[in-house]
Every structure is written in structure tokens, then in C-alpha cells.
Amino acid sequence: MQHPVDEKPSPLTDLKVLDLAGPIGVYCTKLLADLGADVIRIEPPTGDPMRDIAPLHEGQPDRENSLYWWHFNTSKRGVTLDLEQPEGQELFKRLIKWADIAVESFVPGYMASLGIGFENLAELNPGLILTSVTPFGQHGPYSEFKGPDIVGQAMSGVMQQVGFDGRAPYTIATESAYWSAAIFAANATMLAVTSRDFTGVGQQIDVSMQRAMSLGAGNAIPTYDVLGEVLHRGDMFERGRGQVRAVLPCKDGYIFFIAAAPGTSMEAVHDLMADYGFGDKFDLRWLDAAFVREDPVERQRFENFAVEFFSHYTRRELMDMAFNREKQVFAVPTDTPEDVANSPQLIDRGFFVDVDHPGIDDPIRYLGPPFRLPESPWRLTRRAPELGQHNEEVYHDMLGIGQNDLARLTSKGVI
């Protein structure tokens, strides 16, 4: 009998996870939770510092209102626990016996200093997988250095390639180094689960943000290794594989424009602009893309011409004009978050998920997965936990701690 997709179990419903990760690794546990794993978020009794990261819902300075916290902690349960108190360490060890996986991002050696390092935990649970996500890894001369996202972008070689020639490198606006580390952490964790299924033995996974982000440098490292050349930032008309490309303003924003790339040509650009009354302004020497790329004066003339043409049309008009042609010209809108939220393509594919929040009239819209698993679907099952929301459920119902002991542990600040 075929069941509706939403009744089928998610792929990771058999996995139990303890989440102690900071921003560098929290996306790893979100991925596991939204795929069905039972993830318990552990934070200090005073609250995780991520709760203070802006923006806040309606600008209200409340530790339950961080949109950052909401996004990265969907589908998780949440408890409070002070790992630096002996009773807190004992409670954590009890949770370790329950768990398949623990994910953490402390400075290397911190957990071992509390008596809850991997060797200690593996004695309690030989099948435990401990995923450690840090800026530079567990060993090496930089292993104890702090490393916010910008450090990962800078020391991976990626930032050196972002921006324009003659100007300082740019950062990628999102926390791309954190995300890269966390995604690779999730991949490695699932590989370790597969290994454990065969051997019964867990392991500690050592994830380095620098190493993960370095993969985003693409062919820069092989280019240096083989040719001895360092790839630098170029201006808009020099970057790419012999292409003429640029991000240029148009009527309602910016358009990413590519010509002389595979599948396109400067002839196609000329024909497009001629169809809309700009053919007489197109210098026929520009049909040779190399002529445009290699002469700074001609590059500027071509850019001025393109900007004048684009200024008459919106991003969507230019996209439709460019793509609805036999000879394709790439004119891709640079969408804002508002555009993405209203994208007919993403809406049609059900990418967005509305989640109810207690005390908020309208549901909050969340992003869904970039894939579909029809036989084992992804689900965003609940909003991010409030501070200590599941203490009773986890400590009393799951571990069997009595109400008097719970009250005592609370009054001592252990939970």
C-alpha cells in the first residue's frame, strides 16, 4: 500500500544526536535534525550566545527572538546544562550513553580537560561518533587559535580571489566558511555512521574550517602547484575563461551579464541589442571578444554602452529578452532576498515552509531543502527550542531523574 509522502519516515529517524556546536558547526546538526535525527541542543543555563545574534524578530531585545537562532536550530529539542560543574559532566555522560553522535566546536583539549574527551566518552559508548568542528583542526600550530568566519575565508585562499583588481579582497557576505565546515562535518558524520554499521566502532571526526573552505578556492591551488602562478582578482572583463562578463546596473537593480562564453557570442549580443534599437551604437570591432578584453579603453566603452542599454529595462525583462533567443545571451538577475522569497520557481517547488511560533500571529517562513527525497522526506518538524524547553522531557522522562533532584540541579545552576 502506498502512503502519502508526508507519512513516510525521514531518513535519519534512527539517529540520536547531542548538539554542543557553536556557529561554526551548528548547521551540521540542523541538517541532521531536519532529516529526522533526534537532536538535543545543549546550551548553558544562561543561554547560548547565538541567541544574541541579530536580527531579532520585530527588533525586540529578547533571547527568544533571534532569527539566527531560529534558523539554525529547527527540528531540535533543547536542554540547559553546565558542563563545567561535576554534576553537569555526569549528566552529560548519561546522555552520551543514549546518543549515537555528538557534535562540538570547543577549543581542542577543552572537553578532555573536563574529563569528557573522546577517549573518556568512548569508554561509555564505544559506538559514539564525536564530530569536532574547529577553525584549524585538532592538531597543528594553529589548532588553538580562534577563527571567526572571515578567518576561514581569508586563510583558505578564497578571499584573495574575490573582488576587483587594484582593490582589497572582499569577503563573501554569508558565513560561507562556517557553512562549508558544517556541511563537510555532516557528510563525514554520515560516513562514520556507515562505518560504524559495519564495525560497531565509533570515531572522532576532525573537521577544519580552513581545509573545508580551501576546497572553494577551486583550481587556484593546482594552478600554483603546476604553473607557479597565483590567481588574482580581475576586473569584470578579465575574469573567467576568456569571457566578457560583468555585473552591471539596469533599471531596477543589477544584471549579471556574460558574453563570449560557451554557448554565447558577441554576435549574439549585437543581434539582441540591434533588435531593440541599439545596433547602430554597437562598435563592430567588439565582435572580437579579445579586442574588448585586452584594451582598457574599449572595455570601458563597451561597459558604458551596455549600461546605457540595460538602463531601459528591468532585470526580469532583460532575462526574458536574453534567454528567449536561438543564440543565447546570459543576462541573469542579481536577486535580493525579497526576490528569492517571491521566486515563482521556488514557490512552485515548495521550497518554503511556514512554521507556527507561540505568541506570534503569523507563521514564520523557513527555507526548505535543496533536494527531494520522496521515499524518505525531509521535514522541518518544529521551531527552534526556547531556553530549557525540553529539560523536563529529557531529564525526567528520558533519564528518569526525579522532580526533587531536578529542582535541586536547577537551583544549583547545573541545568
In a domain, 237, yes or no: no
| The pLDDT of residue 1 is above 50 | no
Query: Is residue 97 situated within a structural domain?
Result: yes
**By mean pLDDT, which of 10-19, 54-63, 309-318, 382-391 is the weakest?**
54-63
Q: Out of 25-39, 315-329, 394-408, pick the least confident.
A: 315-329
Instruction: Measure the CA–CA gap between 398 and 390, rounded to whole angstroms.
Output: 11
Q: What is the mean pLDDT of residues 73-86?
A: 98
Please give the helix or strand (H or E) that residue 405 lies within, else none: helix 403-411
Non-local (6+) Cβ contacts of 38 within 8 A are 13, 15, 16, 17, 77
pLDDT at residue 325, rounded to an integer: 72
Do the domain assignments include residue 62?
Answer: yes
On whether residue 100 sits in a domain, the answer given is: yes
| Separation between Cα atoms, residue 152 and residue 214, nearest integer Å | 8
Quick check: is 74 in a domain?
A: yes
Given 309, 334, 359, the domain boundary residue is 334
Domain boundary among 334, 359, 386: 334
Same domain flag for 133 and 163: yes
Tens digits of per-residue pLDDT, 34-76?
999 999 999 999 999 999 999 999 887 888 999 999 999 999 9
pLDDT at 396 > cutoff 50: yes
What's the pLDDT score for residue 327?
66
User: What pLDDT, on a 0 to 100 scale, did the predictor assign at position 387?
Assistant: 97
Average pLDDT over residues 158-177: 84
pLDDT band at 240 (very low <50, low <70, confident <90, very high): very low
**Do 316 and 389 share a structural domain?**
no
Q: Who has greater pLDDT, 99 or 237?
A: 99
Residue 2 pLDDT > 50: no
Q: Is pLDDT of 303 > 60?
A: yes
pLDDT of residue 193: 98
132 with 275, same domain: the answer is no
Average pLDDT over residues 290-299: 84
d(CA 175, CA 153): 9
Asked if residue 249 and residue 211 are part of one domain, the reply reads: no
Q: What is the DSSP string of 359-376?
A: T-SSPEEEE--SS--TTS
Q: Are residues 63 and 203 in the same domain?
A: yes
Q: Which tens digits make up the pLDDT trace of 141-155?
A: 999 999 999 999 999
Grid cell 566558511 in the structure block, residue: 177
Whether 56 and 201 map to the same domain: the answer is yes
Region 350-375 average pLDDT = 91
For the ranges 162-166, 255-259, 359-363, the lowest mean pLDDT is seen at: 162-166
- Residue showing cell 572553494: 216
Does any domain span residue 41? yes
**Polymer length of the chain:** 415
Question: Based on the domain organization, do 319 and 356 belong to the same domain?
Answer: no
pLDDT(235) > 60? no
Reply yes or no on whether the pLDDT at 237 is more than 60: no
Count of domains forming the chain? 2
Same domain? For 113 and 203 the reply is: yes
Together in a domain, 211 and 256: no
**Do 23 and 146 reside in the same domain of the chain?**
yes
Q: Does 222 fall in a domain?
A: no
Domain span at residue 147 reads 5-216+351-411
More confident: 81 or 215: 81
Position 380 pLDDT exceeds 70: yes
Q: Among 25-39, 84-98, 161-175, 357-371, name the one with the lowest average pLDDT.
A: 161-175
| Domain end among 274, 305, 334 | 334
Tell me, what amino acid is at 217? A
113 torsion bin: left (phi>0), alpha (psi -120 to 50), beta (else): alpha
Element (H, E) at 306: helix 296-310
* Chain segment 325-359, per-residue pLDDT in tens: 766 677 889 999 999 999 999 999 999 999 999 88
Q: 328 and 249 in one domain?
A: yes
Cα three-residue angle 206-17-198, rounded to 5 degrees: 70
Residues 327 and 367 in one domain: no
Inside any domain, residue 79: yes
- The reported pLDDT for the residue numbered 4 is 46
- pLDDT in the model for residue 218: 76
pLDDT beyond 80 at 244: no
